[in-house]
Every structure is written in structure tokens, then in C-alpha cells.
Amino acid sequence: MPHLLTEQEKRRDSSLRRTYSISLGEYLDILASQGFRCCVCLKELTGISNSVDHDHKTGVVRGVLCSYCNRYVLGRLRDWEVAQRMADYLRTPPAVRVLGERKVPKKTPRKRRPTSRSR
């Protein structure tokens, strides 16, 4: 017996077909192939309202991400070259090349001054 779509699922199917040329079933297949996790932060993805990620230059659908990673992580990186520069920066920071491993001093907790209420 085929699964009957709820109204929400029908709307999502229609939106996915119109926007990304994929069906709700294909969306769920992609999600299952990713282990129901965001490929960037590995957060568990539940429901049907996650973000379909696609290459804005080619239009190719890449996968399903959590909204945060799609909007703020990939949205800021935009393209592979920027992502590669970010990875290179984290692997070999320029300050370490210049200074060696210089660590930020640990902050010691400030002593709290008594307030007028506590006197």
C-alpha cells in the first residue's frame, strides 16, 4: 500500500520539484544516504524542512544540510576556492609561521567587588 502524503509533505514535494527538480522521495533518499546527518556539522537532521544545498553556478544539487550550515557556513564560503583558503589558514596559520606557537594567556577570574546589597 503506497504511503499517502500529508498536506505538509505535498507542499514540500511541490516546493522541492519546483525549486530543485527533485521529489520528496529523492530528498529523503539523499538524506538517508547521508545517515540523516548534516554533512558539515554532523547534526542529526529530522523532519522535512532542512536545506537542500546546491551549487549556485552549475545548479547541481549537492546534498541536504542543516539550515545553519547552509546559510552561515557555506553561505559565507560561497565557493571551493574560499573554502580551500579557509582550510589552509586553519592548517598553517600565518602567525604561527611568523611567531611560532604563541598562546593567548589564560584569563584569571576577576575578584568581584562587594555590592551595596551584600554589605
Average pLDDT over every residue of 39-65: 90
Question: Does residue 56 sit within a domain?
Answer: yes
User: What is the pLDDT, as a whole number, of residue 65?
Assistant: 94
Integer CA distances (angstroms), 11 to 73, 98, 102, 118, in order: 27, 55, 54, 59
Structure confidence by residue, pLDDT tens digits, 30-48: 999 999 999 999 999 987 7
CATH of the domain at 54: 3.40.1800.10
Which residue segment(s) compose the domain that 78 sits in?
7-99
Question: Does residue 47 sit within a domain?
Answer: yes
Structure confidence by residue, pLDDT tens digits, 70-104: 988 887 777 788 888 888 988 998 899 898 888 88
Question: Does residue 106 sit within a domain?
Answer: no
Q: Is the pLDDT confidence value at 1 over 60?
A: no
User: What is the pLDDT, as a whole number, of residue 74?
Assistant: 83
92/89 Cα distance (integer angstroms): 5
- Give the chain's domain count: 1
Q: Report the range of poorest mean pLDDT among 3-17, 43-57, 102-116.
A: 102-116
